[in-house]
Amino acid sequence: MFDWFKKTAMPTESVPYIEPPEKPANVFYRIGTTDQNRVSFQMGYSEITMDKKGVDNMIRQLAVFRDQLDDDVDEQEE
């Protein structure tokens, strides 16, 4: 009735071999969203997740620190 031990045919098409990258990429930071509707920021071994209010607060804090930087520093690096 049923042939339980029947061998299935092997696929005839082969998948081409893809060379792996020689050196893995260095990831310095990663920003993304989670399935819980939050923003995730990962740097090194540390990770923070923020909701919309937290992201807005972080942007305001970064703007304050950005405005404290000297404009001459950027021109000297170029």
Span 57-67, pLDDT tens digits: 999 999 999 99
Strand, helix or coil for residue 36: coil
Residues in the chain: 78
pLDDT at res. 47? 93
The string of DSSP letters for 42-62 reads EETTEEEEE-HHHHHHHHHHH
pLDDT band at 48 (very low <50, low <70, confident <90, very high): very high
d(C-alpha 42, C-alpha 29), whole Å: 6
Phi, psi of 49 (to 5 degrees): -120, 140
pLDDT tens digits, one per residue of 16-43: 888 887 887 787 899 999 999 999 999 9
